[in-house]
Chains A and B, each alone.
Chain A
Amino acid sequence: MENKAKEIIIPKEPHIFRTIFLYVGQGDATLLVIPDGEDYKYVLIDSNHDESSGGIDIVKLLKDLFSDEDRKLDVYINTHPHKDHLSKVKEIYEEIGIEQLWHSGHKPGGEHKDVYKDLEFVMKKLGDENVFCLKGSREDNKLDDEIIKLGNIDYNVLAPAEYVVDEIEDEEPEDRYRRIHEQCGVIRFKYGRDEKQILITGDADYDAWKEHITEYHKDRLPSTVLSAAHHGSNSFFWKNSNTEEDPYKEHLNTINPTYIIVSAPKREESKHGHPDKEAMDLYKEQVGDDNVFHLGKKRECIIVDIRDDGNIDLYPDDELVKEYGVNSDDDNKGGKGSAFSAAVISKIDNKPMG
């Protein structure tokens, strides 16, 4: 029987590039369903497991998605090895399977060391031939010095730049820890004859954008959908999130998005106060209130469908959270109107005829 994950995630027609910004509380997880001929490839960018704010249980969701099918995640992409972008990677590898791993090349220190061990475990299991480092490039589909196509879509790896990786690698653990968001993966995915773009930014911060990305990649930045960096944090606009200065907005103006997705819980549920009010105001100023989608506001996912002609459709979904949300109330699950309808409808037979 078709489950919720299959029903909502798998497009009913071929040639649709579907991006699902999953609500995972304080963290990121974006599932890409990529057209590949008449079939689809599945790519997960980052993963988080947040029990405190009812985020989606990503392992449970993927198990349902691939149930009855002998398939794995085609690619797992980690923008940077922080816990809220990497949780459950080992379980995903062991219980669902991963064909390829793309990562930023950062080696973290501090509290994120343990979860990095999980990433290392997966890298080791996959072997060098299936593990690729993200390196900023001007070329389409260039990954770790090779051209690697991802189904029928194109992509640009914009960050981290190779020189940034080299520079940070040589630093002390403390500095490496501090500069992790400067070495964060940023990837733009493109599809459709009338091309539309989705920009994934991880937690890339002010330094990354100002020093390494905006100017160098200005032709590759414009994107229809922007996944706001660092859960709507001020660190996208201000150095060290210091809002006393004027915000840096060149990158946002260059990206020139139509829609902005902010992956964060409700501010009061976020231990970091994400999304920051000042950042949200700037996003709203850029695209308008109705075009900024804060996933935690109503605990919803956002789905973006791009057809092969470039036609785009963005819409919210609350059913995945209802079905796979950690600690979600079981009473809220079920079919259309079932929670209340039972109280008012006196149904006695199935499919009667008169």
Chain B
Amino acid sequence: MDWFSRHTNWLYRETQELKKSSIYKEKYQFIDRTLISTGNILVHKEQTEYYPILIVYPEATPYVPPTIYLLKNPLNEDTAKKYSTFSLEEIRKHIQDNIRFFNRRHQNEDGSICFIETGDLHSDSAEVYSIKDIIKRLRIWLSGKIPKDSREVELFYHFKNRTYEIQYLLPDLFFDTEIVKGKYFAGLTNLIQANVLPDGIERKTYMGVVIFGENKGGVTLSPKIYIKKQLILFTPMPDIRDLIIKEESEKKSKYIKEGKLIEGYWWDIPKEPEPFSELDVLARYIGKGDENKGFRELIEDLKKPLSKLENIIHIGIRFPGRWREKDWQMFRLKREGNRPPIVGLDKNKLIEELKSRLLDYSIEAVYQEYFTEDYFHMRNKGRAERNILKNVKVSIIGCGALGSEVADALNKAGVGKILLIDKDIMKAHNAIRHCLGIDKVALPKVFGMVNHMILHNPFVDIDLQHLNILQNKLGNYLSEGAIGISTIADDNIETFLNEQAVNKGRTVFYCRALRGGKAARIFRVIPYEDACKTCLSLYSKEKGSPFINIEEDESLPVITNECNNPVRPASAADLKIIAGIFSRVIIDFLQGVNTDINHWIWSTESLEQLELSPANNGLIHTQRIPPHPDCPICQKLEDKEVYISKEVYAQL
């Protein structure tokens, strides 16, 4: 059934609005296989301007807005009628030759307008827009303004000419505002191999690794270089001296030829550009409004690749950002036509020749994404504040099914330093519940986890200790100022850990899944403030104590390995929930939230001291349990010297 049969009210309203709009003068409206409307948008400026458009309603109407194409020429009645018998896709194909491109943000590659495609996520009302509102926004856009624009700038999608063959990751050093123009180098990353797109295009990802050039005064400054994790993340680069000093380095040329390295040119411009497809517009932006000046600068800076008849020239422009100081748009110039090399021209003729050769190139926008600390952590804002968490050190003690998930969550939250401690080797069967997969089999789990975590948050400082804590001193894995996070869930080992941690004044969080993952216990031990693990053990034997016992579920199977070590059954679904709750408890604590609580029980079933109604599928019970007065670990009396006078002693 067509949408217009299912939503007759909507159909009525839309068709009426199309007919009576003050802004849109509809010429023809047809409904057959598709509802289409065509006419002019009126923009009243110095004179009234007329913009022909085609409105096409998709089958998912009203859940998605209509597609609106901006046309070069108005449609006649026959064409409009014919289009109404087509599908959306057929109309898209047929209309392409009549698309008018504005080179302005929010026009898609196929000529349709994109600012109407998604609802306003900040609006409390339903995210559906009637044609009346869409037409209003379109009028504003056509009048030269961007209606209700976002703070994010992703110009790439608004360029008519784009390439999908390469893309960039731009790290913090590309946002250094000291330099205003110069060169950059970007290396093909090791980790992101050329991914093949569905249409067979191989897309290569390059990481910006070096940027250098001059400041506003024309003084050349020392290069900014991306060093962090270079060996892990990126293809080995030529020596930096080869990149910068030796213009004609063979090694550099080889890398460029093999597609492992990009050498590009860039300029800082004073305002955000509108999308464009011609080089003279680029020259105008670079010349700060003066096209000739911009061309002179372009020719001067690109003299080498232009003279060498390079097929491709990589460039970038940087401009004031909307919510960050700077934004980037990268491009690729592609040579078209064939000319002989330049020989023996005087200076003036050379400039003229170079300009003419520059105009041989077409310009394509290249996608870039920011690889910066701020940009990465922006998505955690309000729930995990990088500014607070980056100053925190944690030691993840135990990287099993539970510990690996907790490590992953804290890493993604942006905790500053994470030390991973585990003695085990990854086995194939671990993959069924572990963060890691079978590609890491035979690796110590901590090694696998470092590789895994760096892919998610390269801004966290991750270290590892492949060791057994029973054979090591606490200081080797839980240094002063660090918070311990134990998911070992072995009473002997954790009692040993507790004893040492209390003694050294280290805070440790513990978590264990219980009853096959249907329940979990989390507790915090700040020495002398919270009940320590031994305190809890004492409480567990006392009637009426605050400790809630969680009995074993005897119906679950008992699995052991060859040495009779138990393997506790629980599915990854249970463990991920528990790891999630545990991670949130830790992140809250690190951010100063709910610090009065030191004991959490999560259960999906009623327990002896914890009533759960059938309406609750899982409940977190929170408590503050004080140290046990008889605890030999945290309440141990220290020896004291007692002075007794001779006289008294004699009487004794």
Cβ of A340 and Cβ of B10 under 8 Å apart? yes
**Chain A CB within 10 Å, residue with most, of B62, B126, B129:** B126
Cβ of B42 and Cβ of A290 under 8 Å apart? yes
In-complex Cβ contact of B44 among A313, A345, A347, A350 (8 A): A313
Residues of A within 8 A of B124 (CB): 335, 350
Question: Does A271 touch B at the CB level, under 8 Å?
Answer: no
Nearest B residue to A317 by beta-carbon distance?
B136
Cβ of B44 and Cβ of A314 under 8 Å apart? yes
Cβ of B9 and Cβ of A258 under 8 Å apart? no
Question: Does A312 touch B at the CB level, under 8 Å?
Answer: yes
The CA of A316 and the CA of B21, in the complex, are separated in Å by 10
Residues of B within 8 A of A338 (CB): 125-126
Question: Does A259 touch B at the CB level, under 8 Å?
Answer: yes
Residues of A within 8 A of B46 (CB): 258, 312
Residues of B within 8 A of A334 (CB): 125
The CA of A200 and the CA of B45, in the complex, are separated in Å by 19
Residues of A within 8 A of B577 (CB): none
How many residue-residue contacts, CB under 8 A, span A and B? 77
Cβ of A340 and Cβ of B13 under 8 Å apart? yes
User: How far is the CB of A209 from the nearest CB of chain B, in Å?
Assistant: 25
List the interface of chain A (C-beta within 8 A of B).
258-259, 288, 290-291, 298, 300, 311-316, 318, 334-338, 340-345, 347, 350-351
Residues of B within 8 A of A259 (CB): 44
Residues of B within 8 A of A311 (CB): 45
Question: Does B504 touch A at the CB level, under 8 Å?
Answer: no
Question: Does B194 touch A at the CB level, under 8 Å?
Answer: no
Nearest B residue to A351 by beta-carbon distance?
B121
Cβ of A313 and Cβ of B45 under 8 Å apart? yes
Residues of A within 8 A of B13 (CB): 340
Size range of the chain B interface in the assembly: 20 to 34
User: How far is the CB of B178 from the nearest CB of chain A, in Å?
Assistant: 31
Q: Please provide the chain B residues from 93 to 141 with a CB less than 8 Å away from any CB of chain A in the complex.
A: 120-121, 123-130, 133, 139-140
In-complex Cβ contact of A337 among B9, B23, B133, B139 (8 A): B133
Residues of A within 8 A of B47 (CB): 258
The CA of A334 and the CA of B130, in the complex, are separated in Å by 13
Q: Please provide the chain B residues from 19 to 39 with a CB less than 8 Å away from any CB of chain A in the complex.
A: 20, 22-23, 25
Residues of A within 8 A of B20 (CB): 298
User: How far is the CB of A10 from the nearest CB of chain B, in Å?
Assistant: 16
In-complex Cβ contact of B123 among A314, A335, A342 (8 A): A335
User: How far is the CB of A194 from the nearest CB of chain B, in Å?
Assistant: 9
Q: With contacts A312-B46, A337-B128, A337-B129 known, what are 12 further pairs, Cβ within 8 A?
A: A290-B48, A312-B44, A315-B44, A316-B23, A336-B120, A336-B129, A340-B62, A341-B62, A344-B9, A344-B62, A345-B127, A345-B128
Cβ of A345 and Cβ of B48 under 8 Å apart? no
Residues of A within 8 A of B9 (CB): 340, 343-344
Residues of B within 8 A of A314 (CB): 44-45
Residues of B within 8 A of A343 (CB): 9
Residues of B within 8 A of A316 (CB): 22-23
Nearest A residue to B14 by beta-carbon distance?
A340
- Tell whether A344 pairs with B10 under 8 Å between CB atoms, given A316-B22, A336-B129, A338-B125: yes
The CA of A259 and the CA of B22, in the complex, are separated in Å by 14
User: How far is the CB of B63 from the nearest CB of chain A, in Å?
Assistant: 7
Cβ of B25 and Cβ of A340 under 8 Å apart? no
Residues of B within 8 A of A351 (CB): 121
